[in-house]
Structures are given as C-alpha cells and as structure tokens.
Amino acid sequence: MVKIPDQGLGWYMETSERGGGYNCKKAKIKSIENAAQFRSLLPSELECRATCQKFVKEFEAIKARDIKQKALIRWAVEGDESSVYFNGILNANLSSIRLHGIMVEGEWISNPTMAKDRAYDFFANKFKEPQLSRPRLVCSGIRKLSGSEASSLVKPFSILELKDAVWECEGDRAPGPDGFNIKFLKHCCHCFQGDFM
C-alpha cells in the first residue's frame, strides 16, 4: 500500500488501482468530448466530464510531484557520477585560458592589476591617431558650400520650417514616446510652438 496525498481528500489507494482509475477517467473524457461533436451534452454528462477532468488533473499533479521526489532521493543517495568529471574538465579549460601574466619588454608581469593596465595601454595605442596633422585634400573642381550655405546648416530652425516639417507628416500614425501623435500636434500647434522652438 502506497500513501498518496490527494489534494486534501485524505484517502489512500494502491498506485495500480489509482492508475487504472486514471485511464478509465481519461477514456470517459474522450468519449464525452467525441459525443459533444455531434450533439449537445446533458447536464449529467457535463458534470461527469468536470469530475473526471478534476481527477485527471489531481492525479497528474501527484505523479509529477512523485517523479520529482524520486529523482531528488536518487540524486541524494547515489550522487551525480558525472559531476566530478565535468567539473574537472571545466576547471582544466578555465586554467588553460586564464591569463597568468604577460611579457612586456623582456619583463614578466604577473600582478593582475599591472597586467590589465599594460594590456589596456597596448590596445589603446593601437587605436590612437598616429598622425597629429593629416595632409589636406586638394582637388580642383569639387563643389563646395558657400559661406552663407555653410552657416545655414548650423543656424536655428525657423517657425515656418518647423511647421512645414510637422504638416508633411501623416497625422493618424501611432503616438510617439510622449504619447502624442502628429494630428494632435497639428491641432494644437499654437500651444506648442514656443516649446518646440
């Protein structure tokens, strides 16, 4: 006799007997659902189906708990035979890729802080600009911006330019991060002009 708690029902059954009941209930649910495809179910059938589903759900929960508990007991008794092997491999891999020190100008540096600083300096020098002043590109015939055109690139937007940009957008698209869409901004443009500018 195996003691199986049944979600507070407080009764015990042999696992084989309970398993047979599980299979019977599953078959009953299937037959009721097949009948439901062709006709409306009677209230007694609906009640029977609900009872069977509850039984099946409780049995599967108990079965899952039982399997988990058995696995934990087996692991506690036998232990994990492969964990020592895999931990050894992992430690060997870590030690093989670990940086124990670096050689700088014939000097071996094993202090981790100094080794990090030297490695940082090495790669920082690789990305530094080697020339302080680069030669100028002199090509005749290249179109250039005039002084007034160049200054217009950095001058502030005018209210007219801002209004044109807003009016060219579709109004009924998704709102922006602030929660307002363009249609709202067009409608209330006179209120927001100062804030935009």
Instruction: Provide the CATH number for the domain around residue 36.
Output: 1.20.58
- Across the chain, which has 197 residues, the per-10-residue mean pLDDT values are 41 48 87 86 88 90 87 73 73 78 86 88 86 78 85 84 81 73 79 74
Structure tokens at 57: 């759900």
Compute, in degrees rounded to 10, the torsion defined by CA atoms 8, 10, 16, 18. -50
DSSP output for 141-196: T-----HHHHHHTTSPPPHHHHHHHHHHS-SSS---TTS--HHHHHHTHHHHHHHH
* Residues near 178 by beta carbon (within 8 Å), at least 6 away in sequence: none
In a domain, 163, yes or no: yes
* 132 in a structural domain: no
- Domain of residue 53 covers 15-78
Report if residue 118 sits inside a domain.
no
Q: Which of 78, 101, 129 is the last residue of a domain?
A: 78
Is there a domain that residue 103 lies in? no
- pLDDT score recorded for residue 19: 55
| 143: in domain | no
In a domain, 6, yes or no: no
* Predicted TM-score of the model (pTM): 0.32
pLDDT tens readout for residues 31-89: 988 888 888 888 898 899 889 989 988 988 888 888 888 887 877 776 666 677 777 77
Instruction: Judge whether 22 lies within some domain.
Output: yes
Is 8 within a domain?
no
User: Buried (b) or exposed (e) across 62-71, using 16+ Cβ within 10 A?
Assistant: beeeeeeeee
Q: Where are the alpha helices (DSSP H) in the chain?
A: 15-36, 43-78, 83-97, 112-126, 147-152, 159-168, 182-187, 189-196
Give the domain-ending residue among 43, 62, 78. Answer: 78
**Counted domains in the chain:** 2
